[in-house]
Chain A
Amino acid sequence: MKARTASLLLMAPALLLLAAVFLYPLLLYGWLSFQASSVLTGLEPVPNGGANWGRLLDDARFWTDAFQTLRFAVCSVALELVGGLGLALLLHRPLRGRGTLRALTLLPWALPTTVMALGWRWILNDPHGPLNAAIRFLGGSSYGFLSTPATTWFFVVLADVWKTLPFVGLLLLAGLQTIPEDLEEALRLEGAGRLQILRRLTLPLLVPYLALAVLFRLAQALGVFDLIQVLSGGGPAGSTESLALYAYLNAMRFLDFGYAATVMLATFLLLLVLVGGSWWLWRRGDLQGRREGAA
C-alpha cells in the first residue's frame, strides 16, 4: 500500500546509519577475529583460522580482565540501584525546592566522565590531595590510594556510582510517579507502616523499572573505558583494567587488530549472555508470578 511504503522510506535513512554504526562492527569483528592483522603481518589481514580464539582462551590477562570487569559491573550496579532508589524516594516526596534539588543532583551525570575522572585523581592524590589532607588532619598518615589495587578499585566503583546514580535515580523516580496515590493511601488506612508500604506495594510495582535500570546499567558498565583510562590507567599493575581497555590497548598500542577484534567480540558475547540471560530470567520469573497471581 502506498502508506506502508511511504513510512518505510521514512525510516530508511536512520536505519541505514544504524546498520553502519551497529551492524557493520559486528560483521567486521567477526571476520577480523579470524584474521591475523598486526605489526607482524605488516598490518594487512591474513587469515589464520581460529588462532586468535585459541589464544583468547589461554590468555590469562583476558580472563582476569573479564573477571575484574564483571566484578566492577555487579558492584557498581548494585550500589547504584540502592542509592538510586533512595534518591528516587527522597525526590518523590513533596519537598520545597524539589526542582532545584533534582537539577543539582543531576549534575554529576551531565559531566563528561574524563573531566571528573581527572578531578578524582587529584582528590586521591598522594600526598597533596584533599582526602589525604583530611586524613593527615585527623592524625593518620597519607595513603597512596591509587597505588594499591583494593583502594583503586574501590574508588573506581565510587566514581562510577557518583556519576550514574542520578540517572538511575531519575529512572526509578519516573517509575514511582506512575504508582497511583490511592493505592498508597489505601494501605496506609489499613495501618501499614512506611517500610511495609515500600516492601509490599512500591517495590513490586517498581520491578519493571528496576529491571530496566539493571539491564541498561549492566550493559554499560561492562564496557567501562573512559573512567578507567583516565583515573587509573588500568593500574596499578593492571588490577583495574577492563575488557574494553584491553581491547583498546591491543588495537592502538600493540597494533594487533585481529586480536583486538577477537577481544571485543568476546566482550560482546559476554554482554549478550549476561544481559540476555538476566532479561530471560526476569521474564520467566515475571510470567510465573503472573500465572501464580492469576491462579
Chain B
Amino acid sequence: MRLLVLLWSLGPLLWQLRTSLLRPEALLAPLLEGNPWTLANYRLVLSGDPPFWRYLGNSTLVALATTVLTLLLAVPCAYGLQQQRGLLRWGVGLGLVAAAMVPTVLLFLALLEIARRFDLANDLFALSLPYAGLSLPLAVLLLRAAFGDLPAELEDAARLEGLGLGQRLRHVLLPLMGPALASTGILVFLASWNEYAIALTWISRNDLLTLPIAIARIGGGSVFTIPYGAFAAATVMGSLPLLLLVLLAQRPIVSGLTRGAVKG
C-alpha cells in the first residue's frame, strides 16, 4: 500500500527526471544501442538567454520579499486580533477565512489595474505587495492560533515587570513563537513560488520572469520544435528548490497546516 502511494506521488516526478537525462534520439526510439543517458539537456537549458537559473533567482527573490513582508504585517495583526473580543474578533476572523478561500486568479484584473496606476509592473519587489496581501489571510489565522496557544499569564507577568508592547513582543512573545513563525513563513514562501496568474500579468520582461511563467512560456512553443528533453530538464530544475525545501522543512510545514486545520 505504501509503495502504491509513493509510486503515485513520485511517479511523474521520477519520469521527468528520467526524460531529462535522455538523449533526444533515445526519447523518440526507446530501444537504442549505446548509452542513452546525457546531461546535454541541462546544459542546453542552463545556457539559454537569459540563463535558466535567473528565473530561479527571480522566484526566490520575490518569495523571500513576500515572506518578510507578510510576517511583518501578519504578526501585529494576529496579536491585535487575539486581543479583541466579541463581534469584531468574530467578524474579522470570518472575513479572513472567506478571503483565504478566494481563488487568487480572479483578482488579477484589479491588481493589474493597480499595477498600471502606480507603475508597479516589471518590478520584482513590487510584486511582493499583492503576494503578501494574498498570503495574509492564512498567515494571520495561523499566527493568531499560535498566539492563543501561549499561556496568558506570561504576558501579564511581563506587563507587571514594566515591559511595553514592543518589548513584550521582542523578548517574550516572538521568541516563543519561533516554530509557528517558521512554518507560516515556509507556507507563504511556497505559495509565492507557486503563484502564476498575477506574475503573468505584472511581469513581461524576459529577464524578470518568475519560474512558473518562464516554464509556461517554454511550453507555449510547438511540440515539435522544442526538444522535450530540455523541457524535462527545465521542469526538474524548476522543481528542485521546492522539493529540497519541502524535504528539509516537512515538519514545520505539516505542523503549521495541522494547527491551522485544528483551530480553523
Contact = CB atoms under 8 A, between A and B. Distances in A.
Interface of A: 3, 6-11, 13-15, 17-18, 20-22, 24-25, 28-29, 32, 87, 90, 95, 99, 101-108, 110-123, 125, 128, 130, 133, 162, 166-167, 170-171, 173-175, 177-178, 209, 212, 215-216, 219-220, 222-226, 229-230, 244, 247-248, 251-252, 257, 260-261, 264, 267-268, 271, 275
Interface stretch (B46-54, B128-136, B175-183): B128-136
A95 B129 CA distance: 43
A229 B104 CA distance: 15
A118 B132 contact: no
Nearest to B13: A107
Contacts of B202: none
A11 B246 contact: no
A175 B261 contact: yes
B113 A101 contact: no
Contacts of B231: 118, 122
B239 A115 contact: yes
B244 to A, nearest CB: 10
Contacts of B132: 17
A236 B161 CA distance: 69
Contacts of A110: 190, 242-243, 245-246
Contacts of A252: 201
Contacts of B160: none
30 contacts: A11-B81, A14-B140, A17-B129, A18-B99, A18-B133, A21-B107, A21-B130, A29-B109, A95-B2, A102-B250, A104-B9, A105-B5, A110-B243, A111-B239, A112-B193, A112-B215, A113-B196, A115-B211, A118-B216, A118-B219, A118-B234, A122-B16, A123-B12, A125-B223, A128-B228, A174-B261, A220-B103, A244-B105, A247-B106, A260-B109
Interface string B176-213: 00000000000000100110110001000000000111
Contacts of B253: 106
Nearest to A222: B103
B15 A123 contact: yes
Q: Which 5 A-B pairs have the closest CB atoms?
A: A223-B103, A21-B133, A25-B110, A10-B80, A14-B77
Nearest to B139: A14
Given A177-B258, A244-B197, 11 more contacts: A7-B81, A14-B77, A28-B110, A103-B247, A105-B9, A107-B13, A108-B12, A112-B238, A114-B196, A244-B106, A248-B197
Given A17-B133, A219-B101, A264-B109, A170 B254 contact: yes
Contacts of A247: 106, 109
A128 B232 contact: no
A119 B235 contact: yes
B73 interface: yes
The A interface is mostly helix, strand or loop, or mixed, namely helix
Contacts of A101: 2, 5-6
Contacts of A130: 15, 19
A267 to B, nearest CB: 6
Contacts of A104: 6, 9-10, 247
A108 B16 CA distance: 13
Contacts of B28: 128
B30 interface: yes
Nearest to A252: B201
Contacts of B228: 122, 125, 128
Contacts of A212: 261, 264
A225 to B, nearest CB: 4
B125 interface: no
B134 to A, nearest CB: 6
B38 interface: no
A220 B234 CA distance: 27
B257 interface: yes
A174 B197 contact: no
